[in-house]
Every structure is written in C-alpha cells, then in structure tokens.
C-alpha cells in the first residue's frame, strides 16, 4: 500500500483489509506467472514511521501472499532508519545487529512457515 509503505507523508497505519497487496500479486500472476515467466521482487518494504507493529503486520501479509504465488522477495534496506526520506534500514551496519528485530523475525517466520 503506497500511502503506508512508501509515501513519507502518508499514513503510518496499516490495515490487512487493504487489497493492494492481493491486487499486486494477482496482476503479477496474470501478466507473468500464468505464462511461465518467473518473477523475483527485488525491492519491497515499508518506510519507518515509528510504527513497527504495523510494519510487522504488513510484511507478514506481503510475504505470505508472495509465498502463495511462489514469488521470492528481497527487502530494500538502504541503510537509513531515521530522518527525512525513505527510511527502509533494518541492518545496523556499523554495530552489527538489527534496528527492528521484530520485522526480521516476521520475515523469517513467514518465509520459513
């Protein structure tokens, strides 16, 4: 959902009833997968708006839907977690470890379930 995931001026609230994730993967299936064309999502994620719980739910919904379609996904970690702009960072590159371990746990649980 653009307003939640990317729009820095958008909402910090996520709701599972938003159909944009389902629509995305339905369209991917129709245009590519149904024709035998494999798909990898090389960038997905949600901007840090001090809303970790909502980001966790979104990543679970996104990855579980991707998994239903057999589409592997890579989180876009640009190394930035605070400030103005696209704060997608999860990995603390200078100290090691995770800025948002709850999101990492959600990713791991969803792809390994």
**R_g (Cα) of the chain, nearest Å:** 14
pLDDT in tens, the chain (113 residues): 999 999 999 999 999 888 999 999 999 999 999 999 999 999 999 999 999 999 999 999 999 999 999 999 999 999 999 988 899 999 999 999 999 999 999 999 999 99
- Asked if 77 and 104 count as a contact pair (C-beta separation under 8 A), the reply is no
Both tokens of residue 20?
């944009």
Provide the residue ranges of all domains of the chain, joining segments of one domain with +. 2-112
Q: Which pLDDT score is estimated for 12?
A: 96
pTM: 0.94
Strand partners, 27: none
């Amino acid at each position: 959902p653009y307003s939640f995931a990317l729009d820095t001026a958008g909402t910090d609230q996520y709701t599972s009833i938003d159909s944009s994730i389902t629509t995305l993967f339905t369209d991917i299936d129709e245009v590519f997968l149904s024709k035998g064309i494999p798909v990898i999502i090389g960038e997905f994620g949600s901007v840090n708006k001090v809303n970790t719980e909502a980001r966790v739910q979104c990543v679970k919904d996104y990855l579980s839907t991707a998994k239903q379609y057999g589409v592997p996904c890579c989180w876009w970690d640009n190394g930035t977690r605070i400030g103005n702009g696209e704060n997608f960072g999860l990995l603390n590159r200078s100290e090691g470890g995770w800025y948002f371990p709850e999101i990492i746990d959600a990713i791991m649980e969803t792809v390994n379930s």
